[in-house]
Amino acid sequence: MTSFDMAPERLKKLRDELARETIVEHQIMEQQGNPTDMFKCSECDSTNCAYTEVQKPENRSSEQGITVHVCCSNCGHTWKYT
């Protein structure tokens, strides 16, 4: 038995939380994204994108605390630009 098998409930909860965060992230991008053609989607080569700047609290000590989340309005592909 591994340590993973010993705490399935905790792992399941963690996974659920991670999944929920991803969904919320996606919703924020769709609702509050700023339309831009500065980025090019790697999936469909469209420049019809929206971006959202997200401050990463865990990176507060560094100067690069902003991550730009980009969402392709054409195919829905999302990626991060740092």
Cβ of residue 38: shortest distance to Zn ion, in angstroms?
14
**Which of the ranges 8-16, 23-31, 59-67, 73-81 carries the binding residues for Zn ion, by CB under 5 A?**
73-81
Q: Which of 66, 73, 29 is nearest to 51 (CA)?
A: 29
Q: Contacting Zn ion (CB under 5 A), which of 21, 44, 47, 56?
A: 44
Q: How far is the C-alpha of 37 from the C-alpha of 73, rounded, in Å?
A: 11
Beta strands 34-36; 49-55: pairing state: antiparallel
Which residues of this chain interact with Zn ion, rule CB under 5 A? 41, 43-44, 46, 72, 74-75, 77
